[in-house]
Amino acid sequence: MSKELHPSSGNKKKNGSNAKALPFQMLAVILAVCCLAFLFRLVYTVYKMDHMELNTDPSLVVRQGDTVSIEFSGTIDGEPFTGGSTNGKSEKLLIGSRSFIDDFEEQLIGHHPGETVSVEVTFPEDYPDMELRNQEAVYETKILGIYQ
């Protein structure tokens, strides 16, 4: 007595493909869910950043995940360089986003609004501006406040 494989058994489909299609489909669904979750978090973060108020209370402490408002002016060997300053304009920075070079963001953790922090960084070897590659810089960075 021979045993026939039923199409719904998962061993073989009508079109001749094998059971590997199901795991691929599951992987595609998992990937889609992860992408949607990432996009939701990104949209939420942008929305949250646009709807927060700047708090300048000097008793606050910068922590990982905070969005801060800063002004900075950078120097290499004591000399200002092109693109190294906000020119007195504030800039939002999400601590932990790794959007600034080296460990710039981490050096602000533990400091307070109103403080000026000397942030020391080294430009990476693959930095787009070839003149800045591997250069050590110091950014005098004023923490204007923390968004809440």
Residue 147: per-residue pLDDT: 95
Looking at domain 54-147, its CATH class is alpha beta
> Which residues does 60 contact at the CB level (< 8 Å), separation at least 6?
112, 113, 145, 146
Residue 46: per-residue pLDDT: 73
Residue 113: per-residue pLDDT: 98
pTM for the structure as a whole:
0.68
Q: Where are the domains of the chain?
A: 18-50, 54-147
Phi, psi of 141 (to 5 degrees): -120, 120
Residue 28: per-residue pLDDT: 85
Neighbour tally for 141: CB within 10 Å: 25
Q: Residues 102, 124: contact at Cβ < 8 Å?
A: yes
Give, in order, the Cα–Cα distances in Å from 88 to each of 58, 61, 123, 132: 20, 23, 22, 22
Residue 3: per-residue pLDDT: 54
At 113 the three-state DSSP class reads coil
Q: Which residues of the chain have pLDDT under 50?
A: none
Alpha helices in the chain (DSSP H): 21-50
Residue 27: per-residue pLDDT: 84
